[in-house]
Amino acid sequence: MAAEPRSIDRRTFSLGMLVALAACNRSEKSEAAMTYGASSRFPSSSPTAMTTASFWTQWRDRFVSPEGRVVDTGNGDISHSEGQSYGLLLALQADDRATFARIASWTEANLARSDMALYAWRWDPQTRGVTDANNATDGDIVIAWALSLAAQRWAEPQWGERSATVRAAIRQHCVVSRFGRQLLLPGVAGFVESDKVVLNPSYFVWPALDHFARIDGMAAWNPVISDGEDLLRLARFGAHKLPSDWIVVSGEKAVAPAPDKPPRFGYDAIRVALWGAQGNRSAITAPIASWWRSCLAQHRPIPAWVDVVTGEEANYALSNGGAAIAGRLLGTASPTQLSEDYFAASQQLLAQS
């Protein structure tokens, strides 16, 4: 198997006991009641709206270059399809058409592959070019989602047309039939072996896939959605029944943590909670919510990761981004300061959308 397309070192920052205590004192909201609307606007009088608007301005000014490149400040200032996709989605939610257009233009000029309507995942400022042409399917999904929503909001048909071609390419190149299932690959190359397929549970961006099903028809996406939901229900490991960052599927019901990667519920798998909360998948997020609640009930910070095999925990807390995702899922307090780290700050804004 080729190297995974996402070998990014994620940094975390301890929140301390205060966040845990504050979270414990907030009432819990029903996960099923948390709906997501990427194209909606927050009311201007809402405290959440004012915080989100401030966060967006900070995020844009800190991480988006004048030409529209989203800069991963925690990893040598590289850019990748993940960051570009988040920038598009966040600009859309902020109703910032100018920034959306800049990010879309840079993405197409620098990451769009010539052989298929997908995006190279990694661009390095040292070489000023793509250093890994393999795609990251979650980035492609969010790009296609944001382009489709932007075409509807701003009446720009070319964005809608590009979204349609990307969606078709995802179905053609990133979905395989194995073990009686339709499996969503993390990338075109390096994840299918003769006896198993490697998947990333956090790449199932449920609100995007639901949107695709509405506009392309259920027949196009329902098998991917239903099999993905089933696989994530099977991907519950260890005492806390949590998904690992990477899994291997070797049979219809045979799902296990990927053996060549740390078996952790960590920096990737935390987005299972993010997309699950936004996509109303409470059946998928329930074990995560239960684990996080148990930490808060013990008046201790939620650890940044936990080994789903041994139970070992990180000796530091979730980043501000992880804390914001936990706040979204549980209905508890979220950090009020935007992280200076690209990944954590992105999670904060996505969790508040």
Of the candidates 147, 54, 151, 139, the one whose C-alpha atom is nearest the C-alpha of residue 94 is 54
pTM of the complete model = 0.88
Distance CA 289, CA 109 (A): 40
Examine residue 130 and state whether it is found in any structural domain, yes or no: yes
What string of pLDDT tens digits covers the 353 residues of the chain?
333 444 443 333 333 333 343 333 333 332 222 222 333 322 333 445 556 789 999 999 999 999 999 999 999 999 999 999 999 999 999 999 999 999 999 999 999 999 999 999 999 999 999 999 999 999 999 999 999 999 999 999 999 999 999 999 999 999 999 999 999 999 999 999 999 999 999 999 999 999 999 999 999 999 999 999 999 999 999 999 999 999 999 999 999 999 999 999 999 999 999 999 999 999 999 999 999 999 999 999 999 999 999 999 999 999 999 999 999 999 998 899 999 999 999 999 999 88
Is residue 7, in this structure, part of any structural domain at all? no
The domain that contains 172 carries what CATH number? Answer: 1.50.10.10
Determine the structural domain holding residue 164 and report its residue range.
17-351
Q: Does a structural domain hold residue 261?
A: yes
In a domain, 8, yes or no: no
Does residue 78 belong to any structural domain of this protein? yes
Q: Is residue 309 part of a domain?
A: yes
**β-pairing, 197-199 with 247-249?**
antiparallel
CA-CA distance, 126 to 230, in Å (whole number)? 42
Q: Is residue 2 part of a domain?
A: no
Q: Strand pairing partners for 112? A: 119
**So what's the pLDDT on residue 155?**
97
Q: What is the number of domains present in the chain?
A: 1
Active site residue 138: yes
149 domain residue, yes or no:
yes
Which of these is catalytic: 4, 31, 72, 82? 82
Closest CA to 170 of 232, 117, 113, 107: 117
Active-site pick, 31, 72, 138, 341? 138
